[in-house]
Structure 1
Amino acid sequence: MLTVHHLGISQSERIVWLCEELGIDYAYKRYDRRADNRLAPDEYKALHPMGIAPVITDGDLVLGESGAICDYICGKYGDGRLSPGPADPDFADHLFWFHWSNGTFMATLMMQLVLAGGGGDANPAAVFVNDRSRRGWEMVEKRLGEAPFFGGRNLTTADIMMVYCLTTSRAFRGTPLDGFPNIRAYLARIAERPAYRRAMEKAEPGWTPMLG
């Protein structure tokens, strides 16, 4: 049985949303963060050698990493839905945003968080990361002015990956969305999706998604 192990306020919300969009059967287990340091509890860390979210189990399989999990679930349980094939005109755009999400954008945001308060303009590393972050947000805003979804005409796993970066991850940094009208309009469209609402109600009960 496919089981999604969700750590509260984490990237594993993506996998809950994916399963809800696909309408597949899955088991669900939620883990609260520790009260003392807001990190994952030992029970969650024991699931996978990296000790971080997300993690799924499927029989004897234990799989981590958001992108790998998206590909696995879409391939095994979703009949390839939400992942356009090579003949689709949106194929390349989907691939770019799907991989850019964690490969570049999320990595940059995490570096920015680590370097926050680290000397500002006097710290060359902070200057580099802040500039990369600025360019990333500008790319996102531009893309969402060109197409309704990151992958193009339709929602794909590129959106499953990117929405967390634009919403819940901001809880750790407080990044405002002022000056990003395309992003705000996009998130309003995402908020209207029944599968997204179901997923967030399940993943973060009593918590208002950061959609604006």
Structure 2
Amino acid sequence: MILTIGRTKPIGICGSGLIDSVAEFLETGMIDQNGKFRRDLPTDRVRLGPDGYEYVLARKEETLIHEDIVLTEIDVENLIRTKAAIYAGCKVLLSSVGLGFKDLEQVIIAGGFGRHLDLEKAIFIGLIPEMDIEKFIFVGNGSLLGARLLSFSRNLLKEAERIALMMTNLELSNHPSFMEEFVAAMFLPHTDSSAFPRVTERLHWMRRGDQELRVMN
């Protein structure tokens, strides 16, 4: 079943849909932890396209553009690079003040994109750290919300000015450990399996079930 914005025929895939797709591919064994499609699957949806191997999400007769909508290994690789940069950036930022993900009491996710983000899927691919879901809070358009609150309170305006004076800039590209953390995160979900114990366990059981199925076949 294909769900789209506006309940019309699909014309492409959005960012949250890309995250969901890659998470499902990983959990079901369609791709490995490097983001490569398995070549031995008994389906014609995985095929060799002009840009390498790809998965057909929707066939042309199902789309509004009358073309197949596909997810390529290049798309997956780009997502892995993006999520690695985000995860590594957050980790370096925390370590620079002597903290780790386990020290966080709350994670606020702003922006319209966040409202459509499936947290479980985002954790599964290593985009965000493996934490209790209850610690994540969506606020939507954070800048607009902040502007509205400041318009109602002089005290909040003074507090915002105080916080602004405390802010500093951390240049990740020049940070000695950023590239190391980035490379470590270029894996689904991460090269350090201890950072994602629940995901690692699920992947372990998935592989075990796949091996048992191969033996039965």
Query: TM (normalized to structure 2)?
Result: 0.28
- State the structure with more CA Rg: 2
Query: TM (normalized to structure 1)?
Result: 0.29
